[in-house]
Amino acid sequence: MAASLEELYEVLASALNAWNVQFRPEMGARDVPGWDSMHHMMLILEVNDRFGVDLSPEATAELPDIAALLAAIQAAQQGA
């Protein structure tokens, strides 16, 4: 089943330890406390486990926001 925004928010909250952040699709790493390069690694590993994809931390680091990350996950799911 295709990844949803709500599921991605759960993964973001867990991987970034972002207990008090209200996520929105247009938010990028700059807008979210805890989303630094190291936690981006953790995030993508958790995304890969949760959604059954194999995204690269390096390639996804350039994505502008959460919406783009979701699109990349969904595209990878369709290609899998």
Closest separation between CB of residue 17 and other proteins, Å? 7
Closest separation between CB of residue 65 and other proteins, Å? 12
Cα gap 51→74, rounded to integer Å: 9
Residue 24 or 78: which CB sits closer to other proteins?
Answer: 24
DSSP 51: H
Whether the CB-CB separation of 53 and 45 falls below 8 Å is answered with: no
Q: At what angle do helices 5-15 and 37-51 cross, to 10 degrees?
A: 130
Burial class (CB in 10 A: 0-12, 13-18, 19+), 6: exposed
Closest separation between CB of residue 33 and other proteins, Å? 4
| Span of 23-31, 63-71, 72-80 interacting with other proteins by CB under 8 A | 23-31
Interaction residues for other proteins, span 27-66 (CB under 8 A): 27, 29-38, 41-42, 45, 57-58, 61
Size of the site for other proteins (CB under 8 A): 27
